[in-house]
């Protein structure tokens, strides 16, 4: 009897080409599939809740796979997979494994996704945060960034805020909430929405940073959205500051 297994994954994306299998290097999906092959002695296809780019991290990525063999306790399965992953020096941890019904799908059943972007905002570089946050030495105006972020809330056309390589058929997306706060020297920008376009979060962050730097006026963000022109928005923020925080079902 085929069983569907859901796993929750944490990873440091620094040394990977991203979530999805690619020919040009190690992917998160590929390394987990290799571990599953080693454990079950069977090739298994893993389906993820969403793709993360090269260098992007995850605290709560979700994936599922189907297996028709008798299993060990599904709540202990992740420990065996973690042993194999660590043996091959992967910076990937399976936090939890559990049975799910056949109609569960890690991507299509997802209702919301939460992303967090971290910015180290101080004058001196930190080697501890080198691949974990975007280092910006100039002081950012948090109040202006918070005001500008309000233009992104609701059902909005984000054509100006997606990669030129984005393959989505349409660019309207809904963002439920954006929270910007500073804890000591780290600025956290939290995004909550159903789905996001390719590079959308990073381009929004790059634009908000330019607002915080005084390069873009707060009200100009609305004009950029209405223009639907990617060249008018800010830069794409570096991938290493971005974390897939949680997938909500």
Number of CB atoms found within 10 A of residue 138's CB: 11
Residues 6+ apart with CB under 8 A from 62: 6, 7, 8, 9, 48, 49, 106, 110, 247, 249
Q: Which of 53, 68, 73, 141 is catalytic?
A: 53
Query: Is 157 marked active-site?
Result: no
Q: What is the DSSP letter of 215?
A: S
Cβ(64)–Cβ(101) under 8 Å?
A: no
Q: Which residues contact 41 (CB under 8 A, 6 or more apart)?
A: none
Question: Which single residue is written with the structure tokens 């105006």?
Answer: 141
Residues marked active site are found at 53
């Amino acid at each position: 009897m085929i069983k569907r297994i859901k796993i929750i994954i944490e990873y440091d994306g620094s040394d990977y080409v991203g979530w999805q299998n690619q020919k040009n290097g190690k992917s998160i999906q590929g390394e987990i599939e290799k571990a599953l092959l080693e454990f079950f002695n069977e090739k298994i296809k893993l389906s993820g809740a969403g793709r993360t780019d090269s260098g992007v991290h995850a605290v709560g990525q979700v994936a599922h796979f189907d297996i028709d063999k008798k299993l060990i306790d599904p709540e202990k399965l992740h420990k065996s997979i973690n042993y194999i992953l660590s043996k091959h020096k992967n910076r990937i941890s399976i936090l939890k494994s559990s049975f799910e019904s056949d109609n569960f799908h890690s991507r299509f059943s997802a209702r919301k996704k939460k992303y967090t972007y971290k910015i180290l905002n101080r004058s001196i570089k930190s080697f501890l945060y080198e691949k974990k946050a975007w280092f910006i030495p100039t002081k950012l105006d948090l109040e202006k960034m918070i005001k500008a972020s309000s233009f992104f809330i609701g059902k909005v056309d984000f054509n100006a805020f997606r990669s030129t390589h984005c393959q989505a058929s349409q660019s309207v997306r809904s963002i439920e909430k954006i929270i910007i706060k500073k804890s000591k020297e780290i600025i956290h920008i939290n995004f909550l929405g159903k789905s996001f376009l390719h590079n959308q979060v990073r381009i929004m962050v790059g634009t908000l940073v330019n607002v915080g730097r005084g390069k873009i006026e707060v009200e100009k963000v609305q004009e950029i959205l209405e223009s639907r022109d990617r060249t008018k928005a800010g830069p794409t923020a570096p991938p290493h500051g971005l974390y897939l925080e949680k997938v909500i079902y």
